[in-house]
Amino acid sequence: MTSESVPIGPVDASVVPRFAGIATFARLPRLDQVPRADIAIVGVPFDSGVSYRPGARFGPSHVRESSRLLRPYNPVQDVSPFASQQVADAGDIAVNPFNILEAVDQIEAGARHLATGGTKLVTIGGDHTIALPLLRVAHAQHGPIAVLHFDAHLDTWDTYFGAPITHGTPFRRASEEGLIDLQHSLHVGIRGPLYDREDLRDDKRLGFAIIASHEIQLEGLQSAIDRMLARLGDRAVYLSVDIDVLDPAHAPGTGTPEAGGMTSRELLAMLRELQHVNLVGADIVEVAPAYDHAQITGIAAAHVAYEIISSLAPRERSVPAEKDDDERGTE
């Protein structure tokens, strides 16, 4: 984006009510309506890799509908994410719902095309299978990626019913393919029963550290943030958010819910800290609207995407001015 260009932002809610019009993400322009995009929001309506409740193929449209109330200024991050960068909705990557391997290739090809010219992708799934082709694209651009993975589950299992690529295996395959930075990748929010203690040993070998959900509860949010930033360092970071990292009270509309999860407030607070890292792409997956109520899960996912876009926004870094006497108060 040149210094002379002005980003095209969301539809003006004072002209077209928020409940009217085509539901692009945050009512942003379509990709074909702008010269280029710094960030492209793209849907992948695919859930053929799920092992329990299906329905995440309807996630992209549900999250778009749930994003209508998002507004241009983010007061917590003190940034206007749609004014400081061009963000556009790229629509959906259409993939084969009957063939997982073909679908993975189609997602990789579509994402590679959209990322041409340096556009960063924020992808809305779809099930977690889609993270593998997206990581292949990120690796081709940046080399080994520090994966920051918010999820109730490890997703580093080997196979399921003999299938090597499912929503429970993307990070094992990515590690085996050499896509992942083995010293700087991290799971956050892990909880619930496992098949065996060996699952944890395998996960560590594949390159991941873990901040479990109960650790956030016992040690506090700031400790989790500090551990996250220390682990990621200055590496290129790919963020993958499975919405089931949230407790079912905050995200009932998902395929494999687990009790004892993060609150939406905790998740958003951690995502805001990503303005301090080299974030190169992200996905939000496993929103299954058939199990949602009153858009609880869709709204949470829309705000997750909004905080990610805000963290990607350029901003001036300045040293705070010294307070004058009036601001300090009398001593």
Token pair for 215: 């650790």
The residue segments making up the domain with residue 196 are 25-315
- Convert the pLDDT of each residue in 26-58 to its tens digit: 999 999 999 999 999 999 999 999 999 999 999
Looking at residue 1, what is its pLDDT? Answer: 53
Do 176 and 132 contact (CB within 8 A), yes or no? no
Instruction: Identify the CATH number of the domain in which residue 212 sits.
Output: 3.40.800.10
**Higher-pLDDT residue of 258, 322:** 258
In a domain, residue 11? The reply is no
DSSP string, 205-258: HTTEEEEEHHHHHHH-HHHHHHHHHHHHTTSEEEEEEEGGGB-TTT--SBSS--
In a domain, residue 327? The reply is no
In a domain, residue 20? The reply is no
Q: How far apart are CA 149 and CA 188, in angstroms?
A: 6
- Convert the pLDDT of each residue in 194-233 to its tens digit: 999 999 999 999 999 999 999 999 999 999 999 999 999 9
Mean pLDDT for 112-138 is: 97
Looking at residue 317, what is its pLDDT? Answer: 54
Looking at residue 161, what is its pLDDT? Answer: 94
Number of domains in the chain: 1
With 0-12 / 13-18 / 19 or more C-beta atoms within 10 angstroms meaning exposed / middle / buried, residue 1 is middle
Mean pLDDT for 255-265 is: 98
In a domain, residue 15? The reply is no
In a domain, residue 13? The reply is no
Q: What percent of the chain has pLDDT over 90?
A: 90
In a domain, residue 240? The reply is yes
Count of C-beta atoms within a 10 Å radius of residue 109: 14
Looking at residue 105, what is its pLDDT? Answer: 98
Q: How far apart are CA 249 and CA 329, in angstroms?
A: 44
* Alpha helices (H) in the chain, listed in sequence order: 59-66, 100-114, 131-142, 170-176, 198-205, 213-219, 221-232, 264-272, 296-312, 325-328
In a domain, residue 98? The reply is yes
At 325, the pLDDT band (50, 70, 90 cuts) reads very low
The pair phi, psi for residue 27, each rounded to 5°, is 60, 35
- Convert the pLDDT of each residue in 266-278 to its tens digit: 999 999 999 999 9
Question: What is the three-class DSSP state of 170?
Answer: helix
Q: For all residues of the chain together, what is the average pLDDT?
A: 94
At 3, the pLDDT band (50, 70, 90 cuts) reads very low
In a domain, residue 232? The reply is yes
